[in-house]
Amino acid sequence: MNTLFVTGGSGFIGSSFVRHALGAGKNVQVLTRSEKSAERVRASGAAPIRGNLLQPGAWQAAAAQAQIVVHLAQPETFGTRVTHQRALSFREERLRMDANLLDCLKPDVVQRVIYVGGTSYYGLQGDQLVDETAIPQPKGWGPYIAPAIEALDGYLARNLPISLAFPSWVYGPGSWFIEYTLEPLTKGKPIIKLPGAARTISFVHVEDVARAIVHLSDHGETGWRYFITDDQPRKRLEIGEIAAQVLGVRMKTLSLPMFLMRLAAGPVIADSMLTEARLSNARLKSTGFTLNFPTLEQGVPDAIERWRKMAAT
Ligand SMILES: NC(=O)c1ccc[n+]([C@@H]2O[C@H](COP(=O)([O-])OP(=O)(O)OC[C@H]3O[C@@H](n4cnc5c(N)ncnc54)[C@H](OP(=O)(O)O)[C@@H]3O)[C@@H](O)[C@H]2O)c1
């Protein structure tokens, strides 16, 4: 049976991805740095491979033998103030991680590589629906992931069968949706309203991201980019309003001027709040993929249910 080697399989998107890949009957190997994550991977039914993408090692032999490689790992982005200096080291680490993985893959063995980027690379696209051919205007983290995305052309030229997946703003039982939306709402605290709050962005449920990446690992075309996003771009604060309705609470907001946001979260996160992009999922759908949660109204109740179950265990 073909082997699927995944990096970042213990993360927010990755753990859903591994569950869906196993459900689709794939033989899954997950790269992880820690024994704690390795135990969780084993319990899920996948095989852990211990290793660090920042360092060449025995893990590269496992990656080199896989027919499918899914690259989700990224240096840490969450939880602290992000200065330009910190973002620059993120950029360097991401390039090193990518090189250690992609340099060891062999075009005569690997049949598909799914490289997961972020739509901050496309950044500020205005208020028209755009597809993957739009000219990137990186914003927030975007300028710091751009060199890694652009380096992929060199790997494609060396015949690595890479497809690129760009999930939009991913909500689910983890990450920013809990910290900045569900926790304030359930604790009666305000949701921070920033100057970009009236802008429209694209959202997607983490379960649909995971399913889409499994789907692309069978159907992705080499050299193509795919937005992974739901059907309805929405104003940034609407996700909070919908979550408040589901939770049966009133949403309070606290307007924060940009200079305070820059001070608190750093310029990179502050800039990411100024993005505006309505992303089309037409190309993804043309591969035969269907969303389980095409709108926030359909997805947010499910995400909250999953979060409650996680909190109860
Ligand atoms: N979350 C979002 O809203 C979002 C939106 C769009 C795109 N994306 C993209 O989707 C991908 C996954 O994001 P995520 O939020 O799911 O990530 P995450 O929860 O932050 O998880 C990061 C993963 O990377 C692994 N990792 C980090 N450094 C590593 C290293 N040096 N060697 C090996 N593994 C390492 C971690 O594994 P261990 O700690 O187990 O070693 C962990 O599984 C990223 O490329 C991100 O840019 C995310």
The binding-site residues of ligand 1, defined as CB within 6 angstroms of any ligand atom, are 7-8, 10-14, 31-34, 37, 52-54, 72-75, 97, 116, 118, 167, 170, 175
Q: How far is the CA of 245 from the centre of ligand 1 (A)?
A: 30
313: burial class by Cβ within 10 Å (0-12, 13-18, 19+)?
Answer: exposed
Could you tell which of 5, 6, 13 is best to mutate to test the pocket of ligand 1, judged by most ligand atoms within 8 Å of the CB?
Answer: 13
Q: How far is the CA of 241 from the centre of ligand 1 (A)?
A: 28
Residue nearest atom 2 in ligand 1 by C-alpha distance = 170
Q: How far is the CA of 72 from the centre of ligand 1 (A)?
A: 6
- Atom nearest to 145 CA in ligand 1: 47
Q: How far is the CA of 73 from the centre of ligand 1 (A)?
A: 4
**Helix/strand/coil (H/E/C) assignment for every residue in the chain:** CCEEEEECCCCHHHHHHHHHHHHCCCEEEEEECCHHHHHHHHHHCCEEEECCCCCCCCHHHHHHHCCEEEECCCCCCCCCCCCHHHHHHHHHHHHHHHHHHHCCCCCCCCCEEEEECCHHHCECCCCCEECCCCCCECCCCHHHHHHHHHHHHHHHHCCCCEEEEEECEEECCCHHHHHHHHHHHHCCCCEEECHHHHCEECEEEHHHHHHHHHHHHHHCCCCCEEEECCCCCEECCHHHHHHHHHHCCCCCEEECCHHHHHHHHCHHHHHHCCCCCEECCHHHHHCCCCCCCCCHHHHHHHHHHHHHHHHHC
Q: How far is the CA of 94 from the centre of ligand 1 (A)?
A: 11
pLDDT of the chain, 313 residues: tens digit per residue: 799 999 999 999 999 999 999 999 999 999 999 999 999 999 999 999 999 999 999 999 999 999 999 999 999 876 678 888 889 999 999 999 999 999 999 999 999 999 999 999 999 999 899 999 999 999 999 999 999 999 999 999 999 999 999 999 999 998 889 988 999 999 999 998 887 777 899 999 999 999 999 999 999 999 999 999 999 999 999 999 999 999 999 999 998 888 888 888 888 888 888 888 999 999 999 999 999 999 999 999 999 999 999 988 8
Residue nearest atom 3 in ligand 1 by C-alpha distance = 170
Could you tell which of 5, 6, 12 is best to mutate to test the pocket of ligand 1, judged by most ligand atoms within 8 Å of the CB?
Answer: 12
Residue nearest atom 17 in ligand 1 by C-alpha distance = 11
In this prediction the pTM is 0.97
